[in-house]
């Protein structure tokens, strides 16, 4: 199972809409969109879990493609460093 970072999502993005986008490339095992605590709208990024070969297909197909007029940033999640920051 691989976790994918997806960024530059519009604030109108929902788990259902992002799941349908990624499900074209395989089974979405889990999805977590980060939302604003006050408005409840998407903060522009999230994480998706898919099988390895399906995740690679989704990354190569979707990275840089327009979604609601914005180019998506799609890549494998970067591991945390020992100091708690992303590498």
For the chain, the domain total comes to 1
- Estimate to the nearest angstrom the gap between the alpha carbon of 9 and the chain centroid: 8
Strand partners, 79: none
Q: Measure the CA–CA gap between 27 and 60, rounded to whole angstroms.
A: 16
What is the predicted pLDDT for the residue at 87? 57
Is residue 79 in some structural domain? no
Is residue 60 in some structural domain? yes
Q: Measure the CA–CA gap between 6 and 76, rounded to whole angstroms.
A: 9
The confidence band for 78, taking pLDDT boundaries of 50, 70 and 90, is: confident
pLDDT in tens, 20-33: 999 999 999 999 99
Domain residues for the domain of 62 are 2-70
CATH number for the domain that contains residue 8: 3.30.70.330
- On whether the pTM is more than 0.85, the answer is yes
């Amino acid at each position: 199972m691989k976790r994918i970072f997806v960024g530059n999502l519009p604030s109108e993005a929902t788990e259902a809409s992002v799941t349908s986008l990624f499900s074209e490339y395989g089974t979405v095992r889990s999805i977590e969109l980060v939302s604003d605590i006050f408005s409840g709208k998407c903060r522009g990024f999230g994480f998706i879990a898919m099988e390895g070969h399906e995740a690679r297909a989704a990354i190569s197909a979707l990275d840089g493609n327009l979604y609601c007029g914005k180019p998506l940033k799609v890549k494998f999640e970067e591991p945390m460093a020992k100091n708690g920051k992303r590498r």
